Structure 1
Amino acid sequence: MANRFGVLLRDARRRAGLTQDELAARSGVGVRTIRRLETGSGTDPRVGTVTLLADALDVTPDERRNLLAAADGKQPRQEPPEPAPSPTAAGPAPVEGEARSVPAPGGLPAVPPEVSEAADHLARVMAARLRRAEELRRVHDPFPLPVRWRQAPEHLADHWDNICRVPAGVTAAPLDLSGEVGDIASAYRRVPSRRLVVLGRAGSGKTVLALRFVLDTLAAREPGGAVPVIFDIGSWDPTATPLRTWLVERLQRDQPGLAAAAPGGATLAAVLVDTGRVLPVLDGFDEIAEGLHRPALETLNSLSTPLVLTSRFAEYQRAVTVVDVLTSAAVVELTDLTPDDLAGYLPRTARRGTADGGSGTTWDAVLSALRDPDNAEASPPANLAAVLTTPLMVGLARTVYSDSRDRDPTDLLDATRFPTPRAVEEHLLDTFVPTVYGGQAASARDGGTRRSWEVDRVRRWLGFLADDLDRRGTGDLEWWRMGGSLRRSSRVLLVAAFACVAAALVDWLVFSPVNALVSGTPLHGHVVLVDGLVIGPVVGVPFGLLYLLVVVRRGRMPEPTRVRVRLLDRSGRQPGFRRKVVARFAAGVLGGVVAGVGYALAATVVKVLSPNWTYAVDAGVLVRVTLVDAGVYALVFGLACGVVLALAAVLEAPANLTTATSPGDLLAANRATALRLACGLALALALAIAFGGFAAIGAVQAIADPLPWDLHWNLETGLLLGLMGGMSAGLAYIVTFTAWGQWLLFTRFRLPLVGRLPWAVNALLDDAYRRGVLRRSGAVYQFRHARLQEHLAKAYRAGR
């Protein structure tokens, strides 16, 4: 039957004037499945698949019967997952009138195999990550809360004619998109424009619904198809960065392998976005900075990109009032949980048995009061009833009271203690952290072990992090930006001080002993001491200056390095490769020249103080010699540093697709990369100084007059100078230009030193994630909810 069905399907598609890609976009059936069906190489199609194809082709009743008869009603035996066989799932919208509807825009363009494989890898990563997120949120423990939605008020949505993409003169009938959490993916597929807005108040379950949408959509995805990806849109500045650029940057941040070059030169992330193989799920429109909602909505309206957008109701309504609705987007609104929902859920989260030995649970009295407030023994539970209508507050109540043996939820009915709904919410938020860091809630549900922390200290540390995020206007806790809370002047001084100390230690512990051993001259303590003290600023000042000019003035902390060294391979070169090499060379020359001049001054000071000094020269000659030395060392160090940094840029290539993407893994990978890069730079710089000195000395001797002492340069001198310069510059480079070095200096040293964070910063973040205080979004942490971040930040500022 397959061959006959394929012939009928191909004829109907050609009569409709559609390509296979266009039919795939209209029907929601994968283009590979359509290709197999038309060629007869696949198994017999499902009835639901035939219905989707027939709806998309708008065939006559007779043609529909012929298609169904040819398919013979058999279910496939080994066919990849198809979309749910709903007659309305992703097909054209019902219309009033005789004209045919026009569903979603055309299909995905063909791409090279590398891009398709990258999309499949991204899909697997997203599925694994979001399943883990559901586990840590205990979404399925014991079962998901019944999040429901209904149609939003009409003034917040576009015309149904635009949503359904019907031709001019045709009127589209409204779609019934109401449903529950398990229906979100099928509801989206019923929207022909593939643009959906989900509204709800704080804590109403928008993010959990986004998780479920992505997982359900991935379950029905065809290989090579679009991958739904959640983007926390709160950090987007539409006035500074186009949406397309921002999406690509976020993909490359969270999936370093997507920074690799695709055929044609663009990165894999860029190609995935440009070819529609990324379906953006933009979570948190309300969290965009105040004043940017208008340009954000205007930007989204200028695009026809399929997307899902979540927002708090009030913020979206204000933006729509000022600008316009989101073009072609259907809008749904999450509804409140009911007392019956609570009665079905909360008792199953608590232990059996009550304090008086009854067979119920600790929630029975509370639930009875909520369901029948007129007969409640305690005061009317209006405040509690108003609070326990969102999954966030129900989840907090479950943690505080179901997971704790020493708390009684009937306390929540006390109207004297909690006179307003806000008081109840603040109590739950305030009690959440002490609960998860103590008692039974601290047991490792994931099978791991957890550290013991003092609750008060944890609250202060988390409060500092929340306050820092609030001041920066973001919810992304990026480990490489945590040091940005320090003043710019403090950061510059710390970088310069570290470079000074590193260079001095290298001089004292390595250069001076090796020099004495090679030259056969005795060590003089005061000379060695002075040598280190003057050499320190020679390295520290240039690196402090470079840090000020290259990093601080740019206003951004160094990003994590997502590269690995690879020789003789041009395939990984990214756009802007030549510009990057030139910029590295220029920065290296600048730093080397400053260091060379400083080293000449330091060398003169040390020589004058040395007991071996036997030259009798006046101050004028000494200054002249110092200036000549400065020119020599500036030339040597400048060219050596420029060549070495440019060479490092040439040898860099993007990480592969299997690179880990959790915050801890990215930190570990960046640490390894920074150390390898520093070692490589140190060795290359040592060799460049050693052999570059011969050319520089020859040039100076050819044009300079005779000097009071000989300018000589041999391999021994060059290697000693190169050893000191390479080791000092390598250490300084780490803390100046790498994200891991900045993390080490500011977050792992400075912030714990002043009590803002513990010395075990990584352990704190990972433990908070496992306890459900933090969540992961790709390579960054976030607080479990914006309300929790706001509460902790407010408490930190109040107690400071």
Structure 2
Amino acid sequence: MTSRAGVLLREMRRQTGLTQEQLAERSGVSVSTIRRLENGRPIDPRMGTVKLLADALGTTAAERRALLAEFGAAAEPAEAEPPRIRSALSDAADQFAQVVASRWQREEEQRRVHDPYPLPVRWQQASPNLTDRWDNIRGVRPGGSAEPLDLNGELDDIADVYRRIPSGRLAVLGRAGSGKTILTLRFVLGFLRTRTPAEPVPAIFTLSSWDPTASTLRDWLIERLPQDYPDCPGLTGPLAAELVETGCLLPVLDGFDELATGLHAAALAALSATSLPFLLTSRPAEYATAVAATDVPTSTAGVELLDLTPADVSGYLPRTSSRAGDRWDPVLAELRACPGGSLSTALRTPLMVALARTVYSAGREPAVLLDTARFPTSHALEDHLLASFVPTVYEHRPPHAARPLRSWDPERAQRWLGYLAQHVGQLDEHDLAWWQLGASLRRSSRILAVVLASTLAIAVLNWLVFVPLDLVGRGTAFTFRAGLMDGLLIGPMVGLAFGLVHGLMIVCGGRGIEPSRVQIRLRGRHRTGRQFFRAYASRLGAALLGGFVIGLGYGPVNTALHGLLFGFPPDGKSLAEKMLVPTLVYGLIFGLAAGLVFGLMAALEIPLDVGTAATPLGLLATNRATALRQLLILVPAVALAIAFGGSLLVELLQGPLGPLRWPLSSGLLIGAVGGLGGGLSYVLAFTAWGQWVLLARIWLPLTGRLPWAVPAFLDDAYRRGVLRQAGAVYQFRHARLQDHLGRGYRAHR
């Protein structure tokens, strides 16, 4: 037991106005025991004793949990919860806690937080204008009053400081680069290190993607959990909802200031509307503006991070490298001599100190920072450190990199990173997702890429299938030219059709292509009942439309080409009549074949094993496997559906539409081209992996905006410390670095 437990008990007793004798009479616990507990003398109280005192004090649920936790006693589970469900949820929460701890431990090592020791981030209590009343924070009953809690502390104290807050709601405010993100990381690891089974599991969420006007905090957390923590087995929608709704999750909401413009006040109102505990980080200005527009979230305490002192920096930088020697001495002397100067002001945040460490730990002389002619202000010094960071890490191998790093030209690497930074900034968020890289292109470029890829696929496959057969069957130069013309006309027509559907549905329709969360397997737990019919209906409608559009384009072109080359049948019909019926028939055949195949594809889908997609490259590999399996199924299925389905449909339409021909051999050939070309075009136009290949691996490198080895470049940037991982996406190391790289790219474009 700690003395803090006794202080908490004494404060709760005083809030109720009871003396120790009165509390003893109410609870049945002796006065001497209560006195020893409040004074913090060595004693090991029984759980029953603490519960009797909590009952006698009339504590709220939050106060009761805090009191039991301080005395080392686990809070009781809700009596209404069946033991079996409680056990299942507890197991799921414990497993989730292990995943969270493992992830952020690796991330802490990647960011070198403990090398040689964490910077001394400190804080003080925030202005009263930015916090709620203490009687609300401490849950005092109406008519009572509460004294402020002492929330001051340092980085390793953050979990203990949070536990002092009965409401479980804390806002951490700090300037850019002051250490808010590192604080959330340390909070999660520290909280999990001492977490009891009755406590929730802290999990970090980046707030930039939350729209509080469209979804509540609970609904958004339920949606984000499987996406942000794909490495937790079984964390699907139902389990995510249970963890959130039953209080097993403690959301750590990072980057309130990064919400879209105009949503800050709505976000605070949404936080007040929920009873969930949370730890929130924000820059002070955005938080203060939102508070002025609405109010402080109910029962929320607040702390504000303090600047590093010259003594902090002087004690830290020389210890970052044994090779540094006395190189830092002139800089440290200036810090001590002018604590309010430009250099001291620039090095007041952990971000700038970390950048200075990186830039000048590779042999450069840090005394250049004392050049007041070159760096007359603190802003000039900060810009210099930001500008020097990327060239430094690409010129020298980071000392913490365990595996060999690929060699990149620093100037090109900076330009590529600048393009990525601008792309993320245009999305108005901080997630760098591989499946969204194509969105950095103009709409016309994305549609043109699909048209060209589909055209090339259909044309080449048409030539490979029909030209050799024509030469074998007829053996003339005329038929060879006819085969070439067939590919040259049919390819662009189908390409335009795919581009039209892609443009209407994806580019202009705003229907983003997300990574597939399913796998194609012959065995496994497939969809059944309502889930299958819902998926089947959605695929059927889209595939029918797409196939019918392609058929409408294929029909007249194919009919006109063969009529011009080989002549039209002498049946007395006009050219329009000769083309109308084949157009309608091809539209029906292609549309029904595509609808049938893509609809039945839903029967082979099973939920993705998210454990294989815990990183950006892991999710990419999983989606590549899914797309290739789709292609392997689509090619023969579409070919057979066109060949035999076309034959059946032609037989049914013989009467209404007149004499029709659909030889099985021709149907199989058209089906082969349709299956191969159509399947490949579908993958490139309508799957996340296909768009990644077409746009990020081909189009963007062709135009010089990204390297050819994009996956290797992103992974290398993460290992060099330019990027960080947040589940299945990357993020830039810091928003200021992202903004600097984006501005630099735009200035030199």
TM-score range with shorter-chain normalisation? Answer: 0.7 to 0.9
Alignment partner, residue 365 of structure 1? 330
Alignment partner, residue 389 of structure 1? 348
Q: Distance in 2 between matches of 1:652 and 1:216?
A: 40
Alignment partner, residue 371 of structure 2? 414
3-state DSSP of counterpart to 1:437: helix
Structure 1 residue 782, shift from structure 2 partner? 0.9
Amino acid at match of 2:646: G
Structure 1 contact 117–224 (Cα < 8 Å) conserved = no
Alignment partner, residue 757 of structure 1? 706
Q: Distance in 2 between matches of 1:190 and 1:571?
A: 48
Matched, 1:209 2:180: no
The 1:447–1:575 alpha-carbon spacing in structure 2 relative to 1, beyond 3 Å, is farther
Q: Distance in 2 between matches of 1:172 and 1:226?
A: 26
Q: Distance in 2 between matches of 1:113 and 1:243?
A: 26
Amino acid at match of 2:353: V
1:513 to 443, 458, 468: 468
Amino acid at match of 1:247: L
3-state DSSP of counterpart to 1:351: coil
Structure 1 residue 68, shift from structure 2 partner? 11
Matched, 1:333 2:304: yes
The 1:132–1:556 alpha-carbon spacing in structure 2 relative to 1, beyond 3 Å, is farther
Q: Distance in 1 between matches of 2:568 and 2:374?
A: 87
Q: How does 1:138-217 map to 2 (within 5 A)?
A: 138-217=112-191
Structure 1 residue 138, shift from structure 2 partner? 0.7
3-state DSSP of counterpart to 2:318: helix
3-state DSSP of counterpart to 2:705: coil
Structure 1 residue 271, shift from structure 2 partner? 2.9
Structure 1 residue 778, shift from structure 2 partner? 1.0
Alignment partner, residue 306 of structure 1? 277
3-state DSSP of counterpart to 1:653: strand
Structure 1 contact 477–782 (Cα < 8 Å) conserved = yes
**Which sits farther off after the overlay, 594-603 or 388-397?**
594-603
Alignment partner, residue 497 of structure 1? 452
Amino acid at match of 1:416: A
The 1:130–1:454 alpha-carbon spacing in structure 2 relative to 1, beyond 3 Å, is same
Alignment partner, residue 69 of structure 2? none
Structure 2 contact 342–376 (Cα < 8 Å) conserved = yes
**Which sits farther off after the overlay, 299-308 or 556-565?**
556-565
Q: Distance in 2 between matches of 1:785 and 1:530?
A: 55
Alignment partner, residue 595 of structure 2? 642
Structure 1 residue 346, shift from structure 2 partner? 1.0
Alignment partner, residue 661 of structure 2? 711
Q: Distance in 1 between matches of 2:475 and 2:218?
A: 64
3-state DSSP of counterpart to 1:589: helix
Matched, 1:404 2:369: no
- Runs of at least 5 residues in structure 1 that lack an aligned partner in the other structure: 1-45, 77-81, 355-360, 374-379
Alignment partner, residue 62 of structure 1? 30
Structure 2 contact 202–252 (Cα < 8 Å) conserved = yes
Q: Distance in 1 between matches of 2:638 and 2:600?
A: 11
Q: Distance in 2 between matches of 1:223 and 1:733?
A: 49
Matched, 1:792 2:749: no
3-state DSSP of counterpart to 1:193: coil
Alignment partner, residue 358 of structure 1? none
2:195 to 221, 230, 239: 221
TM-score calculated relative to the size of structure 2: 0.87
Amino acid at match of 2:327: T
The 1:220–1:683 alpha-carbon spacing in structure 2 relative to 1, beyond 3 Å, is farther
Structure 1 residue 528, shift from structure 2 partner? 1.1
Structure 2 contact 178–350 (Cα < 8 Å) conserved = yes
Question: Which is richer in helix?
Answer: 2
Q: Distance in 2 between matches of 1:554 and 1:594?
A: 17
What does the per-residue CA deviation read over 1:594-643, in whole Å, with 9 as the maximum and x for residues that have no partner?
22222322332342255xx4765267255434322223222222111111
Amino acid at match of 2:192: L
Structure 1 residue 416, shift from structure 2 partner? 2.2
- Runs of at least 5 residues in structure 2 that lack an aligned partner in the other structure: 14-22, 66-76
Matched, 1:435 2:392: yes
Structure 1 residue 571, shift from structure 2 partner? 6.8
The 1:425–1:353 alpha-carbon spacing in structure 2 relative to 1, beyond 3 Å, is closer
Alignment partner, residue 292 of structure 2? 321
Structure 1 residue 590, shift from structure 2 partner? 1.0
What does the per-residue CA deviation read over 1:477-505, in whole Å, with 9 as the maximum and x for residues that have no partner?
11111111211122112112211111111
Q: Distance in 2 between matches of 1:63 and 1:527?
A: 105
Matched, 1:778 2:749: no
Alignment partner, residue 79 of structure 1? none
Q: Distance in 2 between matches of 1:734 and 1:543?
A: 11
**Which sits farther off after the overlay, 343-352 or 154-163?**
343-352
Matched, 1:768 2:727: no
3-state DSSP of counterpart to 2:612: coil
Alignment partner, residue 590 of structure 1? 545
Q: Distance in 2 between matches of 1:280 and 1:214?
A: 10
Amino acid at match of 2:661: L
Structure 1 residue 395, shift from structure 2 partner? 0.5
**Which sits farther off after the overlay, 116-125 or 429-438?**
116-125
Alignment partner, residue 271 of structure 1? 242
Structure 1 residue 743, shift from structure 2 partner? 1.1
Q: How does 1:350-749 map to 2 (within 5 A)?
A: 350-352=321-323, 354=325, 361-373=326-338, 382-401=341-360, 403-405=361-363, 407-439=364-396, 442-443=397-398, 445-513=400-468, 524-567=479-522, 578-610=533-565, 613=566, 616-617=569-570, 620=573, 623-705=576-658, 707=659, 711-714=661-664, 716-749=665-698
3-state DSSP of counterpart to 1:171: coil
Q: Distance in 1 between matches of 2:399 and 2:498?
A: 45
What does the per-residue CA deviation read over 1:564-619, in whole Å, with 9 as the maximum and x for residues that have no partner?
12457667679965443212101111112122222322332342255xx4765267
3-state DSSP of counterpart to 2:706: coil
The 1:590–1:115 alpha-carbon spacing in structure 2 relative to 1, beyond 3 Å, is farther
Q: Distance in 2 between matches of 1:113 and 1:628?
A: 66
Q: Distance in 2 between matches of 1:655 and 1:602?
A: 41
Matched, 1:280 2:251: yes
Matched, 1:104 2:104: no
3-state DSSP of counterpart to 1:202: coil
Structure 1 contact 92–103 (Cα < 8 Å) conserved = no
3-state DSSP of counterpart to 2:212: coil
Structure 2 contact 231–613 (Cα < 8 Å) conserved = no
Amino acid at match of 2:140: V
Q: Distance in 2 between matches of 1:559 and 1:751?
A: 19
Structure 1 contact 592–638 (Cα < 8 Å) conserved = yes
Structure 1 residue 332, shift from structure 2 partner? 0.8
2:218 to 244, 254, 258: 244
Structure 2 contact 463–487 (Cα < 8 Å) conserved = yes
Q: Distance in 2 between matches of 1:502 and 1:390?
A: 54
3-state DSSP of counterpart to 1:267: helix
Structure 1 residue 521, shift from structure 2 partner? 7.1
Q: Distance in 2 between matches of 1:318 and 1:240?
A: 21
Structure 1 residue 781, shift from structure 2 partner? 0.9
Structure 1 residue 157, shift from structure 2 partner? 0.4
Alignment partner, residue 93 of structure 2? 119
Amino acid at match of 1:480: W
Structure 1 residue 190, shift from structure 2 partner? 1.4
- Kindly tell me the number of residue pairs found equivalent between the two proteins: 711
Identity of aligned residues (%): 49
Structure 1 contact 47–68 (Cα < 8 Å) conserved = no
Q: Distance in 2 between matches of 1:124 and 1:183?
A: 21
What does the per-residue CA deviation read over 1:32-82, in whole Å, with 9 as the maximum and x for residues that have no partner?
xxxxxxxxxxxxxx899998999999956439949999xx97899xxxxx9
Amino acid at match of 1:762: P
Q: Distance in 2 between matches of 1:770 and 1:92?
A: 50
